[in-house]
């Protein structure tokens, strides 16, 4: 049984409420933080080696130390609870079942960063979780963990929950800030980075829900102890939301020192492939990261067991590796069609592009159309190279990483499953037969092609 730091108490009856949470040792991390200086808290987080759990894996302590501190200017902490990446649903679990863990982490982090007004920006569809968070915030206020002069420390802090309107792009930190300011969620050009000019042009730290919740065990056990869990630069525990063709989909807290094979096949986690089928491929870190065929998923190109760490999942770069990303682990069995799957993702990214940059705005639409015609038996051999060319021209040429997120799944699908694309081109009748139910939609899209 792996060690649990975040979800250990998630099943304790009544843990959602303040009384039980407190009886179980809740808010001890805030008590500890308030006895330390803000700089000491930042130092502790640095020692822990914690990396941001929102996708990029940037070291949290380092990010916090970059926060500008001009005199007389407010600083803000913003919790990113947008969680719109397909396949990712770990933050929802944490907020729903143990909301005070997030509130506690937020109070401690607000102290460390000097944020008197802290925001939780949450995806609009999580309406019922807003109620849960509001309740936890009200309880924390009633017991003096929020508000004025928290526990006699002289520190004032309030947490506000803001619902988004259901746009994936609002999870990107600068789009999130724009949306929080009441504007359309368009990403900003960086620099300046939020640490210098963020919310209302003030220094701002944006962190993921899981990252901020992890501050609690880090303070409780100490940064050095936390760093001993996991391995290498993947310290602590990580929440993984596992879905797709597995026997036990769900949210798992893992010690990152386990192998991908163990994660997929052990009864403690995914419990193997559903229906006794064979594993075909997996997207290990949410829909934006490259898909890996089974062979490269279980072993790296060097023949070593692939581990559930940031380093191992990205071993081999994009040639033969992928990424930890947001921890959305999507498993595909032997019956799944990679072309159709890639089309589904392409449709999502086309829909979610904010439209500011031409390569992303136009390229995502082109990729969807071309994938659509390949999947529906109207593809040409040249389409595969055309797709490759388009994704290559999007990657790295846009304001925000949504462009990359749209390009990588297409690139990886062609890189590892080119034969499947070719099969579609060479077997148009079979494709049309399979897609009969979608024929109307297909015609619409195909007629719009250049
Ligand atoms: C299109 C897009 C969507 C994103 N969605 C999320 C999200 O839902 N939640 C999240 O924490 N980070 C998301 N991110 C990453 C954030 O921009 C940012 O890096 C993250 O919130 C930083 O938190 P961390 O350092 O704790 O990981 C997204 C990034 C992009 C480009
Ligand atoms: S990459 Fe796409 S989503 Fe990001 S700013 Fe450009 S157009 Fe908008």
> Long-range contacts of range 434-440, CB-CB < 8 Å, 24 or more positions apart?
435/375, 435/376, 435/377, 438/376, 439/376
Percent of the chain with pLDDT over 70: 96
pLDDT recorded at residue 442: 43
- Domain boundary residue among 333, 361, 382? 333
Q: Assess if residue 233 is contained within a domain.
A: no
CA of 171 to the centre of ligand 2 (A): 12
Same domain? 102 vs 179: yes
Residue entry with tokens 């730091």: 5
Q: Assess if residue 13 is contained within a domain.
A: no
pLDDT recorded at residue 430: 80
Q: Assess if residue 427 is contained within a domain.
A: yes
Same domain? 327 vs 345: no
Same domain? 185 vs 121: yes
pTM of the model: 0.95
Q: Assess if residue 12 is contained within a domain.
A: no
CA of 350 to the centre of ligand 1 (A): 18
Distance CA 323, CA 327 (A): 9
Ligand 1 near 38 CB (within 6 A): no
Q: Assess if residue 386 is contained within a domain.
A: yes
Residue-wise pLDDT tens digits, 65-77: 999 999 999 999 9
CATH of the domain at 422: 1.20.1440.230
CATH of the domain at 78: 3.40.50.11540
CA of 146 to the centre of ligand 1 (A): 26
Ligand 1 near 52 CB (within 6 A): yes
pLDDT greater than 70 at residue 85: yes
Distance CA 291, CA 409 (A): 6
pLDDT recorded at residue 435: 63
Is residue 126 within 8 A of residue 83, CB to CB? The reply is yes
CATH of the domain at 317: 3.10.20.600
The number of domains in the chain is 3
For residue 72, the enclosing domain spans: 18-228
Using 50, 70 and 90 to split pLDDT, how confident is the model at 440? very low
In testing the pocket of ligand 2, which one of 55, 167, 169 has its CB within 8 Å of the most ligand atoms?
169
**Cβ < 6 Å from ligand 2: which residues?**
169, 187, 353-357, 360-361, 398-400, 402-403
Residue 75: phi and psi, rounded to 5, are -120, 150
Same domain? 224 vs 244: no
Residue-wise pLDDT tens digits, 288-303: 999 999 999 999 999 9
Same domain? 171 vs 252: no
Using 50, 70 and 90 to split pLDDT, how confident is the model at 448? very low
Same domain? 439 vs 321: no
Ligand 1 near 403 CB (within 6 A): no
Same domain? 216 vs 324: no
In testing the pocket of ligand 1, which one of 6, 52, 54 has its CB within 8 Å of the most ligand atoms?
54
Ligand 1 near 401 CB (within 6 A): yes
Tokens of 334: 């032997």
CA 24, 126, 106 angle in degrees (round to 5)? 45
Same domain? 44 vs 191: yes
Residue 286: phi and psi, rounded to 5, are 95, 160
Residues 6+ apart with CB under 8 A from 86: 286, 287, 328, 330, 345, 348
Q: Assess if residue 81 is contained within a domain.
A: yes
């Amino acid at each position: 049984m792996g060690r649990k730091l975040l979800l250990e108490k998630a099943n304790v009856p009544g843990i959602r409420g303040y009384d039980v949470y407190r009886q179980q040792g809740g808010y001890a991390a805030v008590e500890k933080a308030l006895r330390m200086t803000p700089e000491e808290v930042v130092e502790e987080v640095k020692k822990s080696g914690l990396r941001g759990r929102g996708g990029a894996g940037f070291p949290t302590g380092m990010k916090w130390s970059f926060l500008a501190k001009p005199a007389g200017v407010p600083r803000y902490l913003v919790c990113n609870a947008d969680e719109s990446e397909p396949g990712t649903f770990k933050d929802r679990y944490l907020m729903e079942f143990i909301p005070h863990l997030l509130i506690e982490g937020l109070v401690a982090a607000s102290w460390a960063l000097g944020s008197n007004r802290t925001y939780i920006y949450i995806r609009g569809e999580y309406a019922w979780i807003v109620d849960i968070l509001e309740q936890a915030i009200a309880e924390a206020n009633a017991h003096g963990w929020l508000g004025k002069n928290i526990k006699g420390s002289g520190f004032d802090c309030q947490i506000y929950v803001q619902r988004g309107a259901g746009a994936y792009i609002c999870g990107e930190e600068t789009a999130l800030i724009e949306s929080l300011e009441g504007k359309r969620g368009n990403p900003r050009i960086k620099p300046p980075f939020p640490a210098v000019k963020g919310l209302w042009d003030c220094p701002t730290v944006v962190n993921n829900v899981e990252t901020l919740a992890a501050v609690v065990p880090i303070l409780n056990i100490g940064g050095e102890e936390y760093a001993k869990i996991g391995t290498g630069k993947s310290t602590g525990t990580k929440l993984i939301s596992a879905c797709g063709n597995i026997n036990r989909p769900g949210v798992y807290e893992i010690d990152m020192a386990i192998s991908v094979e163990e994660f997929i096949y052990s009864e403690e986690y995914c419990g193997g492939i559903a229906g006794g089928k064979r594993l075909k491929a997996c997207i290990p870190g949410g829909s934006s990261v490259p898909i890996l065929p089974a062979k490269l998923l279980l072993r790296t190109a060097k023949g070593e067991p692939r581990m559930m760490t940031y380093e191992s999942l990205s071993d081999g770069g994009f040639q033969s590796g992928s990424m930890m990303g947001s921890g959305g682990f999507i498993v595909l069995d032997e019956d799944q069609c990679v072309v159709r799957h890639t089309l589904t993702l392409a449709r999502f990214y086309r829909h979610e592009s904010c439209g500011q940059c031409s390569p992303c705005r136009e390229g995502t639409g082109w990729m969807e159309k071309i994938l659509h015609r390949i999947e529906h038996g109207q593809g040409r051999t040249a389409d595969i190279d055309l797709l490759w060319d388009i994704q290559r021209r999007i990657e790295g040429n846009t304001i925000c990483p949504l462009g990359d997120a749209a390009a990588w799944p297409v690139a990886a699908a062609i890189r590892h499953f080119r034969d499947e694309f070719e099969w579609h081109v060479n077997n148009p009748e079979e494709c049309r037969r399979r897609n009969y139910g979608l024929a109307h939609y297909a015609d619409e899209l195909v007629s719009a092609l250049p």
